[in-house]
C-alpha cells in the first residue's frame, strides 16, 4: 500500500490535482458519486489530521 502511494506521488508530482480530477471524470475512471464519497471521507479526516498536525508542531 505504501509503495503504491509513493509511486502515485512520484508519477503525479507537480500536477494540478483539480485538473487530474477533471481528467478522471472526463475519461470515466471516476464518476461523480465516487468523487462525492471521496470528498466526504476527506472532510471527515480533517479533524483527526488537524490534531496530529498540532501535536507535531505544524500549523
Give the pLDDT confidence of 4-41 residue by residue, as tens digits.
Answer: 989 988 999 999 999 999 999 999 999 999 999 999 99
- CA 58 vs CA 44, 49, 55: distances in Å: 20, 11, 8
Helix extents (H) in the chain: 2-12, 17-27, 32-55
User: What is the C-alpha separation between 16 and 11, in angstroms, rounded?
Assistant: 12
pLDDT at 52 over 90: no
For residue 8, what is its C-alpha cell? 502515485
Question: What pLDDT shows up at residue 2?
Answer: 84
Residue 4 CA to its chain's centroid (Å)? 14
The pTM for the full model equals 0.65
Amino acid at each position: 500500500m505504501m509503495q503504491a502511494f509513493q509511486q502515485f506521488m512520484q508519477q503525479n508530482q507537480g500536477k494540478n490535482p483539480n485538473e487530474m480530477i477533471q481528467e478522471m471524470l472526463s475519461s470515466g475512471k471516476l464518476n461523480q458519486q465516487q468523487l462525492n464519497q471521496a470528498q466526504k471521507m476527506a472532510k471527515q479526516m480533517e479533524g483527526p489530521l488537524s490534531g496530529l498536525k498540532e501535536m507535531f508542531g505544524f500549523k
